[in-house]
Amino acid sequence: MLRPAATMARGRWRGLGAFPAEVVPLAVATAVSPLPLVVLLVVLLTPRAVPNGVAFACGWASALLLVGAATATLVGAGAGLDERGTVVSSLEVLVGLLLLLLAVRQWSRRPRGGAEATVPRWLLVADRSTPWRAFAIGAVLVLVNPKNLALTVAAAGAIAGSGAGAGAELTALLLFAALGTAGLAVPLLLRISMGSRVAGLLTRWRRWLVRHGTPIACAVLAVIGALLVLRGLAG
């Protein structure tokens, strides 16, 4: 028997206080995304490392919040409470399939035979960052990157489909943005606390992520994509 919409909403809104439990893996996947970490590590090796790094993290978090708020608003405005479960389930299936396709695409393009991964040319822009440019780069990595955009849309859809009040939804979106930025906080705090002494460590981290980031990203995308498809199909 199908549960009433209000009961389903209450069932979905179980997590860390007002934070839906199903959003946690999406926030973690966003936080460990290799691309923004690589870019931040480049930014943290620039002459104005700390202001540039803080600006980059703020741009990333602001874009997560902006996309999340826009998605939650659209889901809330486009469907009544009785319809939100169907809308969110459909969104989860679509986003999950997109993430699986991205995982297959990235895996097929990975370096083979011990070849070194190539660093994108546009990454040179991050190497010449100012705070405003770093802020813009952080925001763009959310807005135009299909993986980060899909994870944020899926998280906001789950929050909007909970049927909670506007205040609880805003709190959950802020928590998602904070958790999704947590991965950037580690190298940033190291650079702030240790200064240029940590430059060698950050360089080694960047090289490791450039070399191993694709397999990590593919694994994360495949797991999250499969979970979203299964959740969406289960309704």
The per-residue pLDDT string of the chain (235 residues; one tens digit each, 9 = 90 and over) reads: 333 333 334 344 444 445 677 788 889 989 988 889 989 998 998 888 899 999 999 999 999 999 999 988 887 765 554 455 676 777 778 888 888 898 888 788 776 665 555 556 666 667 777 889 899 999 999 998 888 898 999 898 888 876 667 788 888 999 999 999 999 999 999 999 988 889 899 889 888 887 777 788 888 888 888 888 887 777 6
Angle (deg, nearest 10), helices 49-78 and 81-108: 140
CA 142 – CA 60 distance, rounded (Å): 7
Give every CB contact of residue 203 below 8 A, 6+ residues apart in sequence. Answer: 41, 45
Give the pLDDT score at 121.
64
**H-state helical runs in 79-161:** 81-108, 123-127, 131-143, 146-160
Tokens of 123: 């990454």
| Other beta carbons within 10 Å of 116 | 9
Give every CB contact of residue 185 below 8 A, 6+ residues apart in sequence. Answer: 57
Give the pLDDT score at 163.
67
Give the pLDDT score at 173.
93
Give the pLDDT score at 109.
73
- pTM score, whole prediction: 0.79
Only one residue has tokens 């705090």, namely 189
CA 128 – CA 39 distance, rounded (Å): 12
CA 6 – CA 140 distance, rounded (Å): 37
Tokens of 72: 């939650």
CA 45 – CA 143 distance, rounded (Å): 24
Which one, of 35, 29, 213, 33, lies nearest residue 126 by Cα?
Answer: 35
The phi, psi pair for 132, rounded to 5°, reads: -65, -40
Tokens of 54: 């803080």
The full length of the chain comes to 235
